[in-house]
Structure 1
């Protein structure tokens, strides 16, 4: 298992454990966790693929776009992190990142994708 996979497995474990306390957490704390963990995932992707960060007004959060100008693959993380900390096991962070990884690694020029 590489560093990226290990770190995202740790993130998954932390969010799964935190989900047990979700209903007891103040909204400000949930927001802080979502933003910090979401930005960490963006940083992991940036270190692996490069790209550019943008602020997405519609999502009201940072995004990472990789592959420009030949392709455009965007990663949006805060919603996925919020879902996971809220207890949705389907918002599995390593699985989500693996889909993004596969798209970037296997994409052809002209690819346009958004991972939300």
Structure 2
């Protein structure tokens, strides 16, 4: 039994009303896709720039920088969408499964099981970036993941 082994079903309030999902992986993939569509339509990000790649995280960081500079709170739909996008980039690169957690990290992406257990807690970091600015830079945060995966560390990245 690992640190993130508690089981909980994706709650109805987290699921988009228009679509039903069966797994946490489907939920986060859907949220990430909805964020991309929103960003292209409403924020003016060119189609294809948000391609679930590590370089695209700079765009995410720029969006969060705009929120921070405006002094506004990060709206819940953007928090969920950007967080899911960030975790889907990591899941695409390193694999992993989503597990429910608590507080500002209601979901954690657990990478490396069963060989090791690395918890990627992106949701709190997204909130921190929108609130604190560059000290919580998203690309820098993500870069910390690579060495931890290579070392097969049992750790939590927050």
TM bin (shorter chain): 0.7 to 0.9
Once residues 127 and 102 of structure 2 are traced to their aligned partners in structure 1, the CA distance between those partners, rounded to angstroms, is: 18
TM-score scaled by structure 1?
0.81
Secondary structure of the 1:90 match is helix
Tell me, yes or no, if the aligned pair for 1:63 and 1:77 is still in contact at 8 Å. Answer: yes
Moved over 3 A (4+): 57-60
> Which position in structure 2 is the counterpart of 1:115?
157
> What's the TM-score once normalised by structure 2's chain length?
0.61
Kept in 1: contact 2:96–2:113 (CA 8 A): yes
Determine helix, strand or coil for the equivalent of 1:64.
strand
Larger RCO, structure (CA 8 Å, separation 6 or more): 1
Unaligned runs of 5+ in 1: none
What is aligned with 2:79? 34
Equivalents in 2 of 1:73, 1:82: separation in Å? 21
**What is the RMSD computed on CA atoms of the aligned residues?**
1.8
Residue 30 of structure 1: how far off its partner (Å)? 2.3
**Larger radius of gyration between Structure 1 and Structure 2:** 2
User: What residue is the counterpart of 1:43 in the other structure?
Assistant: 88
The alpha carbon displacement at 1:60 in A equals: 5.0
Say yes or no: does 1:71 pair with 2:116: yes
